[in-house]
A = this chain, B = another copy of it.
């Protein structure tokens, strides 16, 4: 069998059959970050911008992207999500992003969590690129997943 499960034995892409998998409650948490300058972080965090739309805009973009994952990632299944939330944090030169998604379905939702983080990050990137063209979106990785055959998985710290 091809160890890359999205390919058949001839190496051709397909959407893997999940019809025989049980419906279970599943949770996936992913994280990522936008690396930028201290100046940008200052602007985003400053008192004057407390009411600003920077983080809400990125949050909404991330939530909507989670729902569109199967439309963006060719071999991903349509999975109606039970919940999506996105949290941001600040470092001196970075905004950190964390997405938590859950479902009650036959297949995992790692890609939904990763896609939410990526699109939230790109939306922040869009808002800061005029003053920091060297900004970078990255570190997009799975932190934890629960549910399904393999139970709980957690990334190394």
Known: A71-B68, A75-B127, A80-B78. A60 touches B103 (CB 8 A): no
Residues of B within 8 A of A76 (CB): 126
Bound CA span A136–B13, Å: 21
**Across the interface, do A18 and B82 meet the contact criterion of CB distance under 8 Å?**
yes
Bound CA span A156–B102, Å: 37
| Residue in B72, B105, B126, B140 whose CB lies within 8 Å of A137 | B140
Most interface-central of A3, A59, A118 (chain B CB within 10 A): A118
Residues of B within 8 A of A83 (CB): 14-19
Known: A3-B43, A11-B51. A111 touches B126 (CB 8 A): yes
| Interface residue A92 (Cβ < 8 Å from any Cβ of B) | no
5 more contacts with CB within 8 A, not counting A4-B44, A15-B85, A57-B60, are A12-B52, A118-B119, A133-B145, A134-B141, A138-B138
20 A-B pairs in the complex with CB atoms less than 8 angstroms apart: A7-B127, A8-B85, A14-B84, A15-B66, A19-B103, A32-B138, A56-B57, A67-B70, A72-B72, A72-B122, A73-B123, A75-B127, A76-B126, A77-B80, A77-B81, A114-B125, A115-B122, A136-B138, A137-B138, A137-B141
